[in-house]
Amino acid sequence: MQEYVREYSFWGFFKGSFGIYFGNFLPLFQIFLSVELALACLEIYVVLADEPDISGPLVGASLAGWNTMAAATVIAVSDVCLGVTPNIQRSYRKLMPIIFPMAATGLLMVLGLVLAVFLVRLIPMLGPIILVIVSVVASIYWMFALTVVVHEHTGARKALKRSFSLFKGFFWRNFGVAITMLFITAANGALFTSIFEFLLSTAGASESSMIWISVIVTNISVALATPPAVIVIVLLYYDGRTRKENFNQTVLAQELTQLST
């Protein structure tokens, strides 16, 4: 069995992430696809209904969906690291005890970014550049928060603090890994979308049907491209705890058993 709970080199994170993804493609893809298809239905409804007033709830649903997919992926990756074959039912079922801490963590992160926007508007001299810097730094430091909730069963505030503490001393390395994976994910997503849309255009789909087909294709592309980006966050978390604490597979197994099966 491949050892994933360990320290990593910079490029080792990518090798480990894609190794887990391709070795367990179907369940990881299903975790994302199930939510992305539901979000696609909501997006199609918004487009066809032409009601901008419901775009706000759609954004909220998208954020909640992302939190859910990411947390389920954390569980699936943890299963892989323990030699257990992941599956979509197990991953989502194990989220039930931590639904509220998950939601609260996501909400606090969003509120933090909203506060940054508010401060920039309140103090114009800060400028958009400062806003971008603050948002990026906060997002990077809080990157582990959801993984902390899943593994360590903490509340939202403690999860954000814990994420910050695990990041100390490794900011630039973790930042480089996150940005590199972001570019890879975006490029893969754009590639998948282009391929799907090309195939659809050659099939002669009507212009009206292309509207909702395009939404579905985009969401499927996200489901295909995004899992490695979440996996690499989990591996960064493992690396941080391994370097700073006596973290190993035994501890990982103990933490997962605290979630209901």
Cβ–Cβ < 8 Å for 138, 116:
yes
Mean pLDDT over 224-249 rounds to: 93
Cβ–Cβ < 8 Å for 213, 205:
yes
The candidate with the shortest Cα–Cα distance to 233, out of 80, 15, 12, 13, is 13
Judged against a pLDDT cut of 70, whether residue 123 lies above it is answered with no
Instruction: Return the pLDDT at 147.
Output: 94
Instruction: Return the pLDDT at 50.
Output: 66
Cα distance between residue 261 and residue 258, in whole Å: 9
Cα distance between residue 223 and residue 233, in whole Å: 17
Cβ–Cβ < 8 Å for 8, 16:
yes
The candidate with the shortest Cα–Cα distance to 30, out of 72, 59, 63, 64, is 72
Higher-confidence position of 127 and 253: 253
- Model pTM? 0.89
Judged against a pLDDT cut of 70, whether residue 128 lies above it is answered with no
What lies within 8 Å, CB to CB, of 195 at 6+ separation is none
